[in-house]
Chain A
Amino acid sequence: MDMFLYLDKDTLLHRLDPRTKLLIMLGSFIVTLIFRYIPMLLGLFIAIILYGYLGKVLSNLKRIRVILIMIALVSVVLWAFAGGGDTQILGPITKEGIVYGVAVAIQFNIMIISGMIFLSSTKIEEISLGLVKLKLPYRGAFAFSTAIRLVPTIVGTAYTIKQAQKSRGLDLDSGSFMHRAKKYIPLLIPTIISVIRGTNVFAMALESKGFGYDRIRTNYLELRFRAIDYILMLLMLVAIAFSIYAKIKFVS
């Protein structure tokens, strides 16, 4: 099963410097979190989708569509009941609650989609190199990128193990919550053991290829800011500055 998020394509987005993409991702988080105003959020949502479209990586969103929809639904339903407000629609459900829930749903989804676009268009090596260029020590950056890399491996192993236990008659879908939680033990233990065994070989292979030989290390990938990087970063910084300014002005 192919569990890797990165989509190898040659687009403007893929050619951007990872630092630019990192800034855009973090910037989109900040701007999103500053406003809880639906038209503004919708605008941002469209901007992010367009940004992903540029890199032809939106197909990856299909893989997480269930998560995106679930978050939206949970948020709207939850806040509809718990959001408070005066305009009651039905029982404890209020209009303000629903509006608030929709805004939170969009906020969450923007952040997830933004993160997904980053991971789908940036090689793991670029992420770690970008972090190194931002003055993070190489070992730290490598550890971070390894963590990202391990997720699909763990998911893949867990999937195989789930099938193995299901074949033995493990029924994961029935029973009370506690009962079901207990049933996951046969999945958990082999997964942890397999991951530990796998990472042990991984560590040995790393060392055997000269990892940590010297503090100075060549980077085969070249990172370079192009004009488009500067333009996008500038735009993002302006957007952030404007958001903060508007927020202060709006609040006061």
Chain B
Amino acid sequence: MEAAIKKVGTKSISIKKLSFRYKDQKDRKAIEEINLDVEKGQFIVIMGPSGAGKSTLANCLNGLVPHFIRGEYEGEVWINNIKVKDSTVSNMAKEIGLVFQDFESQLFSTNTKLEIAFGPENFGVEREEIRKRIEKVLRIVKLESFEDRQPSTLSGGEKQRLAIGSVLASQPNTICMDEPTTDLDPIGKLGIFNIARELHESKELTLIIIEHETEEALQADRLIIMENGKIIRDGLPQDILRKTDLTDKIGIMSLQIPKYFSIVSSLSNENLPLTPIEGFEKFKTVGLKINEEKYNMLELADEEREGKYGDVLIEVSDLEHTYANGRGALMGASLQIREGEFLAITGHNGSGKTTLVKHLNGLLIPTSGTVIVNGKDTSESSIFEIGKKIGYVFQNPDHQIFADTVYEEVAFSPKIRGCPKEEIETRVKEALKAVEMEGYEEEDPFSLAKGERQRIAVASVLSARPKIIILDEPTTGLDYKEQKKMMNLIKSLNEDGHTIIIITHTMWVVSEYAHKVAVLKEGEIMMYGKTREVFQREEDLLNSHLRTPHIVSLSNKLGKTMLSIDEMTKCTEAVK
């Protein structure tokens, strides 16, 4: 023990040759031969594609692996000179706090105060001291005046902040957050990272955040990239993220500004700007300008596309909805969706996005106002009837999947609609082809990866051959590569003639794919129009708790609105 103390010194985490294989894992280990030393007070971001072993590593830190999740464990993890394997999870909670992505499942108390008190209670902290800690923690996570609120009444961002607070209350000197912002809107994300930064400023706390949004990773002291169970990069985030060919290859989203400049300029790696502000400066100094003619062509193409839309399929007028408990979720929304459109509905957590689209297929009936689908009032037709025209892919594929095989799952919709056997077969084939999941017919859908389950959920809606497809958060919980694949699938469905409506708060998805955007804020449509027009108004978006992607911000600074790196490079030329 004494020798070990000498070895780790001021390190708060020391990992030596750590490998772990889950019980049911055959092909390879979840993490392999990880060596990692973390100095006290560091702020580390860990990134990597799905299946890289990030969560497994996080669970190794407080002993959930191997005490709670069992498997083949090799190597050593030391936290504050305590060997995790020889301790218990509850013991480790005093040293390291773990925050999970799923904030619904980690909160369980009747009010905020008791949620924070739970940890210290377990450690037998005096009541008076707990009172003090609650006060302090509420201040840190910015939930003062929320102490008597039920966690279920908080917004997503507030819930996740409470989850962080509940862990802070036990006063660990290391906090590890496993994708804490995945389910949050851009401003909710920012809130979490602001807290992280403030915690970091105290220098007492070691902070580890697993994240998949590259833009946020810039704030860290150190960035670790994992792939296939191994650490493949470890260094300053600015250095690593400038190498966009590397991030592209691994499949994490590349920072847009350095990527754009590496295409249009011959700047060397270390001179690439990282943020829109740096990019704006660089744009002038390296002698670039926007080609007006080409930009006008982009706008022209937008117009042309709009001219090609068909009949009005959905007409929403003055829609209001009040839930049975008296909470007003929508206050007078109006929309008109025409055949062939690709509409993104965006807005902060709890802004009413899901409530709005649930009206489109008759799951909800307006409290006042009307929803006309295909010429019929939804309050006068059944979901079954509307369901023939509108397919609805729910946010969580696990809320849909139930069959033993992929085939059965996809065949469900045509089957209950009474299609003959041959017809069912062609439809399943067609749907699986569309989502590129042919050959998976006999697989058990539950054994598939999240991205694949999501695609099966889409296929099972496609097999009903709906004209309109609604997708609620189709990219949440997927890594960048899977997100891209999902969105390209949706795009090709749109090009094949389907009208698409997606709900999302992932802003690059909106800017790169949607034709039109509706921005909701507190139950009202604040902005509605062509994507380019909406993204031009950065200030207004910010007011609705949304932020434009870096490349859009850069182009806005230059007086034009471009929605992707592609558009931006096409319109860039050198000053003669």
Contact = CB atoms under 8 A, between A and B. Distances in A.
Interface of A: 1-4, 6, 8, 123-125, 146, 149, 157, 160-161, 163-171, 185-190, 193-194, 197-199, 201-214, 216-222
Contact of A169 (B91, B166, B325, B413): B413
A64 B392 CA distance: 31
Residue in A157, A169, A194 whose Cβ sees the most chain B Cβ within 10 Å: A169
Contacts of A161: 399-400
Nearest to A160: B399
A185 B408 CA distance: 13
A219 to B, nearest CB: 6
Contacts of B399: 157, 160-161, 164, 190, 194
B417 A124 contact: no
5 contacts: A161-B400, A169-B464, A188-B402, A213-B124, A221-B114
Contact of B110 (A6, A188, A210): A6
A8 B416 contact: no
A178 to B, nearest CB: 16
B367 interface: no
Given A124-B109, A171-B416, 14 more contacts: A125-B109, A161-B399, A190-B398, A190-B402, A198-B105, A201-B102, A202-B106, A204-B64, A205-B163, A208-B98, A209-B122, A210-B91, A218-B124, A218-B127
Interface stretch (B148-156, B187-195, B257-265, B289-297): B148-156
A218 B446 CA distance: 42
Given A166-B363, A208-B167, A217-B122, A194 B64 contact: no
Given A167-B392, A209-B119, A123 B89 contact: no
Nearest to A126: B110
B309 interface: no
B460 interface: yes
B115 to A, nearest CB: 10
A206 B100 CA distance: 11
Contact of B122 (A4, A149, A197, A211): A211
B398 A197 contact: yes
Contact of A198 (B102, B127, B392, B461): B102
Nearest to A157: B399
Contacts of B121: 217-220
A78 B405 CA distance: 45
B91 A213 contact: yes
B568 interface: no
B358 interface: yes
Contacts of A125: 109-110, 114
B440 interface: no
Given A160-B394, A209-B167, A214 B123 contact: yes
A168 B393 CA distance: 9
Nearest to B325: A2
B124 A214 contact: yes
B422 interface: no
A186 to B, nearest CB: 5
B64 to A, nearest CB: 6
Most buried by B among A188, A198, A217, A218: A218
Contact of A167 (B108, B120, B122, B363): B363
Contacts of A206: 108
Provide the main secondary structure of the chain A interface. Answer: helix
Nearest to B463: A168
Interface string B38-77: 0000000000000000000001001010001000000000
Interface size class on chain B is 35 or more
Contacts of A207: 64, 68, 89-90, 93
Contacts of B384: 169, 171
Given A204-B64, A207-B90, A165 B153 contact: no
B100 A4 contact: no
Interface in B82-124: 89-91, 93-94, 97-98, 100, 102, 104-106, 108-111, 113-114, 117-124
B111 A213 contact: no
B127 A167 contact: no
B93 A210 contact: yes
Contact of A189 (B120, B388, B402): B402
Given A168-B387, A207-B64, A217 B124 contact: yes
Contacts of B102: 198, 201
Given A125-B114, A203-B68, A218-B130, A210 B150 contact: no
Contacts of A211: 90, 122
Contacts of A208: 62, 64, 89, 93, 97-98, 167
A124 B110 contact: yes
Contacts of B118: 209
B105 A202 contact: yes
Q: Which 10 pairs of residues, A with B, have the shortest CB-CB distance?
A: A205-B106, A210-B93, A210-B122, A201-B105, A220-B117, A167-B392, A189-B402, A213-B90, A207-B89, A123-B110
B437 interface: no
A169 B123 CA distance: 51
Contacts of B417: 169
B412 interface: yes
B89 to A, nearest CB: 4
Contacts of A4: 150, 152
A193 B398 contact: yes
B464 A201 contact: no
Contacts of A219: 121, 127
Contacts of A201: 100, 102, 105-106
B401 interface: yes
A214 B105 contact: no
A222 B127 contact: yes
Nearest to B110: A123
B333 interface: no
Contacts of A186: 402, 412
A123 B64 contact: no
The interface centre, meaning the residue of A1, A208, A218 with most chain B CB atoms within 10 A of its CB, is A208
Contact of B153 (A2, A170, A222): A2
A8 B150 contact: yes
B379 to A, nearest CB: 16
A213 B413 contact: no
A167 B114 contact: no
A1 B114 contact: no
